Amino acid sequence: MESGAKKKQKKDRVVHKNRELTAILEVSKVLTTSFALERNLLSVMSTLGSLLEMQRGCVFLLEPLSRELRIVAAHGLTKKNIGKGKYRIGEGIVGRVLEKKIPMVIPNIGKEPLFLNKTGSRPEKDGISFLCVPIMIKNEVLGVLSVDRIYSKKQGNVDDDLRVLRIVASLIAQFIKLWESYEEVEKEKENLKRELKARYRIENVIGQSDRMQEVFEAVHRVAPSKATVLLRGESGTGKELIAKAIHYMSPRNAGPFVKFNCASIPEGLLESELFGHEKGSFTGAVSLRKGKFELADKGTIFLDEVGDLPITLQPKILRVLQEREFERVGSEKTIKTDVRIVTATSRDLENLLSQGKFREDLYYRLNVIPLFLPPMREREEDIPILIDYFLEKFNRENNRLVVLDKNVLQILLNYNWPGNVRELENTIERLVIMSGSDRVTASDLPVSLSIRRLKSSGKSASLTANVKEIEKVNIIDALEKTGWIQAKAARLLGITPRQIGYKITKYDIEEKTV
């Protein structure tokens, strides 16, 4: 039979093992509660102190720039002690553990000359054991974990403690790597938010015409408010750009900006896209999905082409506007949302109202602050500025130095731009990419740009006038390419010198005017 002493020893051993497992479990829990580096590591050291009876403990991390170890969390040390705890690589026991990447145990620090006691936290060193293990992941040393112990037969042995400390150090290393990734992502998010905020400031929306200045003034007034805004205007006038400016100039700029085009999704999927759905709520709903309104919480949702919303879905949009609540498809749980709504449309909502295709109550809820964005034909003085902006942008992106000939600029100014700013942007990008030289001439322009929708005293230009304009542009271009030698220009155009002379007189073309 076992003696009473042996039974007690076994019982103490079991108790100690349980404490070890509890300590490891508690450390795991602490390190997964948040990404607060110092707070979590301090909790880890407190756990080791309370559950494993370790008198003092420190987590040292390697500073990437100074290449110096410093204490980021400690148990049993004062702030003054912690401030002194700095080691170079290879210095003292702590520095050596980092350098050699192996644990070290000092049975009695009072008899170890390499133990420097830099923190000054151990006035009486005799009898204190010091255990130190590297904090490592994939052979990369991030720091050092150290603890003080006073051993007795009841309190386990060095091998047990080293095993536990190695496990804890491994958990700490994984947490630090996750924390570094989290910090990097957060930094990137903040940088991106700052860039977006700068990019979509109203000052960065181009336009010096009176019509655009009126828009800018209205945006400055409405952005700080909570009011719902309805952007009206033709396709391509920059409604999304203005919506983003409103968001990034508002108190909600730190929240999400969620864009949704109501005309781009089949009617059967619209409700799910806007409000989300529960798993199994319909065929193909294999998992829970949050909708746009839920994703936009604390931010802004931009509903583009709101005039295309089906009449069956409009009451649910109205409810969100009025009550700020909704349910996911397949759920009875009501979800509250704190979201600002900015909408846009290129359609005639008033006509849709009269046809019964748009609810009157929804119209008035959306139309709290209407902003009208003028088409290009009503802001002609902005065209040269926009051309310069897009030229600079696409030259930079494509490493080109393309410039526009004077007569090309005149053609662009005379064009009616039915696609507005978007069409102008696409045209300049195409010219920069496709131009065979660094100077774009009239012959590089698509024919449709010259013959379609040319402005002519406020009325539609006739086909004859369009043809004459193209002919004149082509003659000037040929003359410029041949140094204004009429015979060479005629050959280039496939006509006789007599014909080109007649055309030059007919169109009153003079070298000095080009």
Domains of the chain from N-terminus onward: 4-182 (3.30.450.40), 200-374 (3.40.50.300), 377-513 (1.10.8.60)
High-pLDDT (> 90) share of the chain, %: 39
High-pLDDT (> 70) share of the chain, %: 85
Least confident range of 175-184, 293-302, 435-444: 435-444
Output the pLDDT for position 476.
83
| DSSP element (H, E) containing 198 | helix 158-199
Least confident range of 1-10, 97-106, 437-446, 474-483: 1-10
Flag whether pLDDT at 347 surpasses 70: yes
Q: pLDDT category, 506, cuts 50, 70, 90?
A: confident
222 versus 164: which is more confidently predicted? Answer: 222
Is the Cα dihedral 6, 9, 15, 20 positive or negative? Answer: negative
Residue 216's nearest CA partner among 230, 206, 225, 224 is: 206
Flag whether pLDDT at 450 surpasses 60: no
184 versus 52: which is more confidently predicted? Answer: 184
Q: Return d(Cα 417, Cα 374) in angstroms, integer.
A: 12
Q: pLDDT category, 454, cuts 50, 70, 90?
A: very low
> Averaged over 240-264, what is the pLDDT?
93
> Averaged over 47-68, what is the pLDDT?
85
Output the pLDDT for position 54.
79
**What is the residue type of 116?**
L
Please count the other Cβ atoms lying within 10 Å of the Cβ belonging to residue 483.
9
Q: Return d(Cα 428, Cα 395) in angstroms, integer.
A: 10
Structure-token match 């400016």, residue found: 245
Please count the other Cβ atoms lying within 10 Å of the Cβ belonging to residue 189.
11
Flag whether pLDDT at 263 surpasses 80: yes
Output the pLDDT for position 186.
85
> Cβ(374)–Cβ(386) under 8 Å?
no
Flag whether pLDDT at 220 surpasses 70: yes
Flag whether pLDDT at 198 surpasses 60: no
Q: Return d(Cα 369, Cα 478) in angstroms, integer.
A: 53
> Averaged over 326-348, what is the pLDDT?
93
20 versus 62: which is more confidently predicted? Answer: 62
Q: Return d(Cα 35, Cα 249) in angstroms, integer.
A: 30
> Averaged over 190-216, what is the pLDDT?
74
Output the pLDDT for position 116.
65
Residue 309's nearest CA partner among 341, 277, 286 is: 341
Output the pLDDT for position 453.
45
> Averaged over 364-373, what is the pLDDT?
94
Per-residue tokens: 476: 């000037």
Output the pLDDT for position 243.
95
Count CA within 13 A, CB hemisphere, residue 369: 18
Output the pLDDT for position 457.
41
Tens of pLDDT, residue by residue over 226-240, are 999 999 999 999 999
Q: pLDDT category, 195, cuts 50, 70, 90?
A: low
Q: pLDDT category, 459, cuts 50, 70, 90?
A: very low
176 versus 470: which is more confidently predicted? Answer: 176
> Averaged over 53-58, what is the pLDDT?
82
Residue 164's nearest CA partner among 28, 65, 68 is: 28
The rounded mean pLDDT for the chain is 84
Whether pTM exceeds 0.75: no
Output the pLDDT for position 110.
65
Cβ neighbours of residue 464 closer than 8 Å, sequence gap 6 or more: none
Least confident range of 157-166, 358-367, 425-434, 458-467: 458-467
Is the Cα dihedral 411, 414, 418, 421 positive or negative? Answer: positive
Output the pLDDT for position 129.
83
Length of the chain: 514
> Averaged over 345-357, what is the pLDDT?
93
Output the pLDDT for position 242.
94
> Averaged over 236-250, what is the pLDDT?
93
Output the pLDDT for position 330.
87
Output the pLDDT for position 433.
92
Secondary structure, 3-state, 55-66: CEEEEEEECCCC
Per-residue tokens: 94: 């702590």
Output the pLDDT for position 22.
85
Output the pLDDT for position 199.
60
Output the pLDDT for position 467.
62
Cβ neighbours of residue 318 closer than 8 Å, sequence gap 6 or more: 359, 361, 362, 365
Q: pLDDT category, 299, cuts 50, 70, 90?
A: very high
> Averaged over 405-425, what is the pLDDT?
88
Output the pLDDT for position 75.
86
Q: 407 to each of 251, 371, 482, 484, how far by Cα in Å?
A: 47, 35, 16, 15
